[in-house]
């Protein structure tokens, strides 16, 4: 069913504001209709929205992930940190799955009838050590951010030079997401009633840095991986910059 333009969007003055509102809600169709009301002033905005609609239709994951990251930054700038964590959680799901597909050549398709990812299960069947580590942590055999972190940890330790940048960044990014996603699960957008602030995000990142330092001392993290994590956890903007670099590597 075609969506009607809201009656309150009746002038150029507010059209672009509402276009941005709908874009931030990932309703690109309504955003485009609002932008049309802005005439020439909304031309560039309409071009971007057309590309985003194409991205959704064609499953251009890099394009949509870039938009999701832009959206996340807006939530951060507005101080809406619970929603910020929610956007990052969705980013972690899709970007880490894409990294896994790039590294293994396996396409992760969900089987609705069997309620699993058959190719992912097959991959684990061929990697007993990974399966055991996943089972020890009582995780499901599905490509969740937590499960993928275990896989990336193992893959990143193999210095075969094949797709080295993806391996390194995927592990670093997933390690940081573990802590952020853990808190997201306790908030009002997931399974609890906790909130989130800028100070809370800063504390979570500092905990990641401390754990990475301890991991380096135990020989679990290389100096290179530790350095990436340490720099990315200095503040939230540093982490967002790492995510930008991660997407660039995945787009190659």
With beta carbons less than 8 A apart as the criterion, state whether 190 and 184 touch: yes
Predicted local distance difference test score (pLDDT) of residue 10: 54
Predicted local distance difference test score (pLDDT) of residue 7: 57
Predicted local distance difference test score (pLDDT) of residue 11: 59
State the distance between the two ends of the chain, measured CA to CA, in whole angstroms.
Answer: 37
What is the rounded CA–CA span in Å between residue 71 and residue 90? 12
Predicted local distance difference test score (pLDDT) of residue 8: 54
CB atoms within 10 A of CB 76: 20
Task: Quote the strand ranges of the chain, DSSP E.
Answer: none
With beta carbons less than 8 A apart as the criterion, state whether 82 and 189 touch: yes
Predicted local distance difference test score (pLDDT) of residue 183: 98
With beta carbons less than 8 A apart as the criterion, state whether 153 and 171 touch: yes
Here the tokens at position 165 are 């940048």
Task: Tell me the domain boundaries of the chain.
Answer: 8-58, 79-250
Per-residue pLDDT of the chain (252 residues; tens, 9 = 90+): 556 666 555 556 688 899 999 999 999 999 999 999 888 888 999 999 999 999 999 999 999 999 999 999 999 999 999 999 999 999 999 999 999 999 999 999 999 999 999 999 999 999 999 999 999 999 999 999 999 999 999 988 776 666 889 999 999 999 999 999 999 999 999 999 999 999 999 999 999 999 999 999 999 889 999 999 999 999 999 999 999 999 999 998
What is the rounded CA–CA span in Å between residue 176 and residue 29? 34
């Amino acid at each position: 069913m075609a969506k009607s333009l809201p009656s309150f969007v009746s002038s150029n003055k507010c059209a672009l504001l509402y276009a941005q509102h709908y874009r931030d809600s990932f309703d690109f169709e309504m955003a485009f209709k609002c932008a049309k009301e802005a005439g020439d002033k909304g031309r560039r905005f309409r071009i971007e929205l057309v590309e985003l609609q194409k991205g959704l239709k064609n499953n251009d994951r890099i394009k949509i992930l870039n938009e999701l990251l832009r959206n996340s930054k807006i939530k951060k700038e507005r101080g809406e940190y619970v929603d910020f964590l929610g956007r990052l959680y969705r980013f972690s799901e899709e970007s880490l799955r894409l990294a896994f597909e790039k590294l293994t050549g396996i396409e992760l398709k969900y089987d609705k009838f069997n309620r699993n990812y058959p190719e992912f299960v097959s991959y684990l069947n061929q990697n007993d050590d990974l399966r055991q580590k996943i089972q020890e942590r009582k995780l499901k055999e599905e490509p969740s951010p937590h499960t993928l972190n275990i896989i990336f940890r193992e893959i990143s330790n193999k210095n075969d030079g094949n797709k080295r940048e993806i391996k390194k960044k995927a592990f670093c990014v997933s390690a940081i997401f573990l802590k952020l996603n853990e808190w997201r699960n306790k908030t009002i957008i997931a399974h609890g009633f906790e909130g989130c602030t800028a100070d809370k995000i800063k504390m979570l990142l500092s905990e990641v840095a401390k754990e990475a330092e301890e991991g380096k001392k135990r020989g679990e993290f290389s100096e290179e991986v530790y350095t990436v994590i340490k720099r990315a956890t200095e503040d939230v903007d540093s982490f967002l910059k790492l995510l930008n670099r991660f997407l660039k590597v995945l787009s190659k």
